[in-house]
């Protein structure tokens, strides 16, 4: 076998550049390797910030605008807010983090880092480097519960705002999943505000399993809401529920009007985002229903 | 807590697995569903080895007094040590034998013992060179005793051999006269595999051909299933040496047995990937493997051999036990099994084995075709308890280039055995009947054995018998990558690749055979249920 063929064989067998996997029958015989973690602090230095902004503003933002019909609302809610805060949103696509970072105003963009699943975004070196550089990403260990957000606490204490997706993973069917409590625990512990964001249409544009948005410049709306703050003596369960309702209210606002959404929220009639209790195919069918373009399409759309 | 061994089932996630093939290795993709037997992780070594040795000598097991109480002024003391055939590869210095010898000699010196002889229990193996002995026993022992009181055993020294008697089975027991006449024999052993140690130490290590032929023969080997399973009734060779050892004891020979066990850190840190499971290799391990493999492939054969010859195992000592032979050996086996035993569920149609570069009889030498046969169908095949990994009539596929190459100093009788005997027949029983006696008594081989560094004239016969059980059990033996002429001389078949070998094996085991790859070294014993 030639050296080239051998290298190819090794690359295929050992999954070079891809997530390493172990044989199934070896799983119970293999200790979990102590994860020394990928260093990400370099990406939050001055040079890292400058490089990231160049990438976000010079490459990612034009790319997003080119591929999607992007609508952004509610940035005025951030005008009087002082950081750091925790941005949180529903999670339906790999576009989500990019969309949030690209649409944040400059002063927020500079000091916002995205929490990314350690087991997915920090598995192979090139993905680690990409996540750290482009998103100022830091690893969140989904298997460690409250201990998985140690790095997030450190960043917030350093004055960095963070983006988290409390669902923990992208929706499999387009409907919002139950929120985990990491973000609420963090906000309660550090007393920071939580800014809700609704991302509407990202699932239809680029659901789980796709790596590039669909054709036809699908409509995606980013809607920022009013920050919510932990109340005196509030539990993390109750705060998580409020966070979930805040996102649902933004969805409602996107579907109807600001005033209607508030009124419904006051009457506790905000439509749930949990989707129908039905077989998986029906949930997916409903969740993937195309987002209607409102009004007449613009000439250049 | 080190992980036990286990059986992997190859699936689409399994990377290519390393397979040893002499002075090299290859990465082999195995068919889906292949079972791969992995050895347990290396056990940790004992923390304070000196304290451990002291404790073993002062608090012996079985019916034995502490060593200091057995030593007295004016006594005749013989210390025997295992030779270069173990451990494999040779361990980093200081060798455990040096550590123990220094303790024993210190006690003897304090007790006022003057008549002390150290003998390397070579039996019919080659004499160790001075440099090899110095490396094994250390500078201090070497300087104090070599060459007058530190010697290689000579099984052909008619005046130096004593006939002790016959066992109830009529087996002659002859051992070194000096040892037989000693007030105490201290045997310092390394128990690398389950067949080492116990009564085999003195009754084989210090025995003559006349004594050895009673168990080193085709009949015994065919009734040793396996010789790595020393439970009574499982190994005829072990049963025979036990009878001999008990005869020695009943004739008043006092033996203080010191046995040691090692963990499985077979390769040094530079080749650490060879000690690991492939899917746990880091990027560095993969790069090291590729670099070492490529460098090895482009190196001239002499450089390659020298590279492998210089490998020293970073073994750690996992146990030292001393005292009465059988009690000590029982503990030793417990320790050994803790490190080496792997449970395997049932046999398969095909067993695949990679033959490494070193076996017990080619340290600092060449693994010639007869030794390849011995290492594959003798040692590796027999690393089982209860049943072989491959079913009767199944196929053994082994990886080795099997070069037609011999070390003319170490293995002179092997050359003639290969050229003359195997050219005539490969049937062990026929070889034993027609040729053994002549080779065993050939004056030239005897001369080389006694004065040079040659294995005894009969040794290649033993190597051939060693694989007799494996040869008898398997329906076909195929060498992947083997040199056609030498493989044919051994009476086996060869293939260029595993795929070809599996295709050839169809004749014996059908189109969809079950396959087991025995992922050794490190050494392990498959406990086949």
Using an 8 Å CB-CB cutoff, list chain A residues near B277. 26, 30
CB of A3 within 8 Å of a chain B CB? The answer is yes
Whether B27 sits inside 8 A of A22 (CB atoms) is no
Task: Report, as an integer, the average pLDDT of A92-119.
Answer: 93
Q: Which residue out of A21, A23, A34 would a mutagenesis test of the B interface target, given it has the greatest number of B Cβ atoms within 10 Å?
A: A23
Dig out the tokens for B488 from the structure: 């044919």
Q: Is the pLDDT of residue B270 over 70?
A: yes
Task: Report, as an integer, the average pLDDT of A276-286.
Answer: 85
Phi-psi region of A17 (alpha: psi -120 to 50; beta: other; left: phi over 0): left
| pLDDT: which is higher, B160 or A124 | B160
Of A3, A6, A26, the CB nearest to B8: A26
pLDDT of residue B339: 95
Task: Report, as an integer, the average pLDDT of B268-294.
Answer: 91
Of A15, A20, A29, the CB nearest to B3: A29
Tell me how far apart the alpha carbons of residues B182 and B57 are, in angstroms, rounded to a whole number: 19
Of A23, A29, A33, the CB nearest to B14: A23
Of B13, B277, B286, the CB nearest to A24: B13
pLDDT of residue A142: 76
Tell me how far apart the alpha carbons of residues A253 and B404 are, in angstroms, rounded to a whole number: 84
* Per-residue pLDDT tens digits for B188-241: 999 999 999 999 999 999 999 999 999 999 999 999 998 889 899 999 999 999
pLDDT of residue B94: 94
Whether B9 sits inside 8 A of A22 (CB atoms) is no
User: Any idea which residue has 């529903």 for tokens?
Assistant: A90
pLDDT of residue B258: 97
Whether A26 sits inside 8 A of B16 (CB atoms) is no
* Per-residue pLDDT tens digits for B495-507: 999 999 999 999 9
Whether A22 sits inside 8 A of B6 (CB atoms) is no
Chain B residue whose CA is closest to A125: B283
Q: Which residue out of B8, B15, B297 would a mutagenesis test of the A interface target, given it has the greatest number of A Cβ atoms within 10 Å?
A: B15
pLDDT of residue A2: 81
* Per-residue pLDDT tens digits for B351-401: 999 999 999 999 999 999 999 999 999 999 999 999 999 999 999 999 999
* Per-residue pLDDT tens digits for A257-270: 999 999 999 999 99
Whether B9 sits inside 8 A of A25 (CB atoms) is yes
* Per-residue pLDDT tens digits for B335-344: 999 999 999 9
Tell me how far apart the alpha carbons of residues B403 and B22 are, in angstroms, rounded to a whole number: 10
Task: Report, as an integer, the average pLDDT of A70-77.
Answer: 92
CB of B284 within 8 Å of a chain A CB? The answer is no
Using an 8 Å CB-CB cutoff, list chain B residues near A22. 13, 279-280
Using an 8 Å CB-CB cutoff, list chain B residues near A29. 3-4, 6, 8, 38
Using an 8 Å CB-CB cutoff, list chain B residues near A21. 13, 279
Task: Report, as an integer, the average pLDDT of A7-25.
Answer: 88
CATH no., domain B6-41+339-528: 3.90.226.30
Whether A21 sits inside 8 A of B9 (CB atoms) is no
Chain B residue whose CA is closest to A17: B283
What is this structure's pTM?
0.80
pLDDT of residue A147: 62
Whether B27 sits inside 8 A of A13 (CB atoms) is yes
Domain with CATH 3.90.226.30 in chain B: 6-41+339-528
Q: What is the mean pLDDT of chain A?
A: 88
Q: Which residue out of B279, B280, B284 would a mutagenesis test of the A interface target, given it has the greatest number of A Cβ atoms within 10 Å?
A: B279
Q: Is the pLDDT of residue A35 over 70?
A: no
To the nearest whole Å, the CA of B262 is away from the closest chain A CA by: 23
**H helices of B251-321, where?**
283-298, 301-309
Task: Report, as an integer, the average pLDDT of B79-96.
Answer: 94
Residue A146 pLDDT level (bands cut at 50, 70, 90): low
Beta strand B35-38 with B6-9: parallel, antiparallel or unpaired?
antiparallel
Q: Is the pLDDT of residue B413 over 60?
A: yes
Whether A13 sits inside 8 A of B16 (CB atoms) is yes
Of A3, A7, A23, the CB nearest to B279: A23
Whether B280 sits inside 8 A of A23 (CB atoms) is no
CB of B292 within 8 Å of a chain A CB? The answer is no
To the nearest whole Å, the CA of A4 is away from the closest chain B CA by: 12
pLDDT of residue A216: 85
CB of B285 within 8 Å of a chain A CB? The answer is no
The share of chain B scoring above pLDDT 90, in percent, equals: 96
Whether B290 sits inside 8 A of A10 (CB atoms) is yes
pLDDT of residue A300: 59
pLDDT of residue A80: 85
pLDDT of residue B404: 97
**H helices of B44-183, where?**
49-58, 67-70, 96-110, 130-137, 139-145, 177-180
Query: Which of B329, B369, B352, B294 minimizes the C-alpha distance to B526?
Result: B352
Task: Report, as an integer, the average pLDDT of A44-63.
Answer: 93
CB of A2 within 8 Å of a chain B CB? The answer is no
Phi, psi of B354 (to 5 degrees): -100, 125
Structural domains of chain A sorted by starting position, each given as residue range(s) with its CATH number in brackets = 41-287 (3.40.1130)
Beta bridge partners of A198: A223
Whether A3 sits inside 8 A of B294 (CB atoms) is yes
Using an 8 Å CB-CB cutoff, list chain A residues near B13. 21-24
Q: Is the pLDDT of residue A301 over 80?
A: no
Q: What's the CA angle centered on B344, arms B343 and B346, to 5 degrees?
A: 140
Task: Report, as an integer, the average pLDDT of B405-433.
Answer: 97
Whether B15 sits inside 8 A of A13 (CB atoms) is yes
Tell me how far apart the alpha carbons of residues A196 and A243 are, in angstroms, rounded to a whole number: 7
Q: Which residue out of A13, A17, A34, A125 would a mutagenesis test of the B interface target, given it has the greatest number of B Cβ atoms within 10 Å?
A: A13
Query: Which of A81, A166, A181, A75 minimizes the C-alpha distance to A117?
Result: A166
Domain with CATH 3.40.50.11440 in chain B: 49-262
Q: Is the pLDDT of residue B81 over 90?
A: yes
CB of A17 within 8 Å of a chain B CB? The answer is no
Using an 8 Å CB-CB cutoff, list chain A residues near B27. 6, 9-10, 13
Chain A residue whose CA is closest to B12: A23
CATH no., domain B49-262: 3.40.50.11440
Q: Is the pLDDT of residue B75 over 80?
A: yes
Whether B13 sits inside 8 A of A14 (CB atoms) is no
Task: Report, as an integer, the average pLDDT of A2-27.
Answer: 88
* Per-residue pLDDT tens digits for B161-186: 999 999 999 999 999 999 999 999 99
pLDDT of residue B1: 75
pLDDT of residue B164: 96
Q: Which residue out of B4, B8, B19 would a mutagenesis test of the A interface target, given it has the greatest number of A Cβ atoms within 10 Å?
A: B8
Beta bridge partners of B76: B115
Whether B27 sits inside 8 A of A7 (CB atoms) is no
* Per-residue pLDDT tens digits for B287-310: 999 999 999 999 999 999 999 999
Of A10, A25, A30, the CB nearest to B280: A30
CB distance B278 to B18 below 8 Å: yes
Using an 8 Å CB-CB cutoff, list chain A residues near B3. 29-31
Q: Is the pLDDT of residue A24 over 60?
A: yes
pLDDT of residue A211: 87
Q: Is the pLDDT of residue A296 over 70?
A: no
Of A22, A25, A31, the CB nearest to B3: A31
Chain B residue whose CA is closest to A13: B15
CB of A36 within 8 Å of a chain B CB? The answer is no
Task: Report, as an integer, the average pLDDT of B261-284.
Answer: 91
User: Any idea which residue has 């080193």 for tokens?
Assistant: B216
Chain A residue whose CA is closest to B279: A22
Q: What is the mean pLDDT of chain B?
A: 95
To the nearest whole Å, the CA of B11 is away from the closest chain A CA by: 6
Beta bridge partners of A220: A70
CB of A6 within 8 Å of a chain B CB? The answer is yes
To the nearest whole Å, the CA of A8 is away from the closest chain B CA by: 12
DSSP annotation string for B221-246 = HHTBTTTT--STTTBHHHHHHHHHHH
CB distance B12 to B350 below 8 Å: no
């Amino acid at each position: 076998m030639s050296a080239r063929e051998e290298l190819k064989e090794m690359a295929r067998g050992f999954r070079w550049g891809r997530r390493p996997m172990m044989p199934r029958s070896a799983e119970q015989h293999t200790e979990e390797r102590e994860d020394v973690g990928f260093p990400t602090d370099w990406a939050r230095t001055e040079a890292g910030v400058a490089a990231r902004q160049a990438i976000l503003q010079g490459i990612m933002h034009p790319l997003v605008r080119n591929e999607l019909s992007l609508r952004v609302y509610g940035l005025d809610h951030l005008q009087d807010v002082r950081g750091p805060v925790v941005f949180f949103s529903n999670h339906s696509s790999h576009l989500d983090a990019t969309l949030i970072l690209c649409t944040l105003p400059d002063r927020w963009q500079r000091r916002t880092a995205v929490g990314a699943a350690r087991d997915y975004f920090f598995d192979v070196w090139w993905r680690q480097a990409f996540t750290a550089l482009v998103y100022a990403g830091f690893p969140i260990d989904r298997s460690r519960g409250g201990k998985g957000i140690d790095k997030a606490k450190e960043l917030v204490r350093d004055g960095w705002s963070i983006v988290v997706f409390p669902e923990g993973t992208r929706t499999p069917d387009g409907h919002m999943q139950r929120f985990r409590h990491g973000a609420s625990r963090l906000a309660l512990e550090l007393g920071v505000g939580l800014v809700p964001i609704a991302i509407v249409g990202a699932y239809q544009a680029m659901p789980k399993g796709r790596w590039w948005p669909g054709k036809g410049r699908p409509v995606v709306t980013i809607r920022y809401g009013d920050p919510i703050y932990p109340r005196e003596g509030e539990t993390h369960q109750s705060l998580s529920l409020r966070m979930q309702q805040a996102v649902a209210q933004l969805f409602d606002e996107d579907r109807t009007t600001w005033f209607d959404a508030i009124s419904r929220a006051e009457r506790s009639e905000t439509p749930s985002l949990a989707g129908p209790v039905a077989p998986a195919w029906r949930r997916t069918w409903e969740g993937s229903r195309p987002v209607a373009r409102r009004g007449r399409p613009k000439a250049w759309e | 807590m080190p992980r036990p061994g286990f059986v992997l089932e190859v699936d689409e996630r399994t990377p290519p697995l390393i397979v040893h093939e002499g002075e090299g290795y290859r990465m082999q993709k195995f068919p889906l569903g292949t079972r791969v037997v992995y050895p347990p992780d290396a056990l940790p070594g004992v923390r304070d080895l000196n304290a451990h040795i002291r404790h073993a000598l002062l608090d012996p097991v079985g019916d034995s007094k502490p060593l200091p109480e057995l030593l007295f002024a004016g006594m005749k003391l013989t210390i025997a040590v295992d030779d270069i055939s173990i451990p494999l590869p040779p361990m980093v210095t200081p060798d455990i034998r040096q550590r123990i010898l220094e303790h024993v000699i210190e006690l003897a010196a304090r007790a006022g013992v003057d008549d002390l002889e150290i003998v390397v229990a070579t039996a019919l193996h080659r004499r160790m060179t001075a440099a090899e002995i110095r490396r094994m026993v250390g500078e201090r022992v070497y300087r104090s005793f070599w060459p007058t009181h530190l010697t290689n055993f000579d099984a052909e020294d008619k005046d130096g051999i004593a006939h002790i008697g016959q066992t109830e089975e009529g087996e002659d027991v002859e051992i070194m006269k000096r040892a037989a006449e000693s007030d105490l024999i201290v045997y310092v052993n390394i128990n690398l595999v389950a067949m080492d140690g116990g009564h085999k130490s003195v009754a084989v290590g210090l025995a003559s051909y006349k004594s050895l032929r009673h168990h080193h023969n085709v009949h015994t080997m065919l009734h040793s299933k396996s010789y790595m399973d020393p439970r009574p009734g499982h190994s005829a060779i072990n049963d025979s040496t036990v009878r001999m050892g008990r005869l020695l004891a009943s004739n008043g020979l006092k033996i203080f047995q010191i046995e040691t066990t090692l963990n499985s850190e077979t390769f040094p840190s530079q080749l650490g990937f060879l000690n690991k499971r492939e899917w746990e290799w880091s990027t560095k391990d993969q790069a090291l493997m590729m670099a070492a493999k490529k460098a090895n492939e482009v190196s001239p054969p002499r450089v390659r051999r020298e590279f492998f010859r210089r490998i020293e195992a970073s073994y750690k000592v996992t146990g030292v036990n001393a005292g009465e032979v059988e009690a000590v050996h029982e503990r030793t086996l417990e320790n050994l099994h803790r490190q080496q035993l792997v449970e395997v569920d049932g046999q398969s149609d095909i067993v695949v084995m990679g033959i490494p570069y070193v076996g017990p009889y080619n340290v600092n030498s060449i693994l010639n075709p007869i030794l390849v046969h011995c290492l594959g169908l003798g040692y590796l095949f027999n690393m089982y308890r209860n049943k072989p990994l491959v079913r009767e009539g199944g196929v053994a596929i082994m990886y080795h280039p099997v070069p037609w190459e011999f070390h003319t100093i170490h293995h002179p009788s092997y050359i003639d055995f290969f050229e003359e005997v195997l050219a005539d027949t490969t049937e062990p029983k026929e070889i034993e009947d027609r040729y053994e006696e002549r080779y065993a008594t050939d004056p030239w081989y005897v001369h080389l054995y006694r004065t040079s560094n040659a294995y005894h004239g009969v040794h290649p016969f033993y190597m051939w018998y060693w694989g007799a059980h494996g040869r008898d059990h398997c329906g076909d033996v195929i060498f992947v990558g083997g040199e056609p002429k030498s493989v044919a001389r051994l009476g086996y078949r060869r293939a260029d690749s595993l795929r070809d070998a599996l295709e050839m094996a169809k004749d014996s085991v059908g189109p969809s055979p079950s396959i087991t790859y025995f992922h050794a070294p490190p050494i392990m014993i498959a406990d086949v249920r």
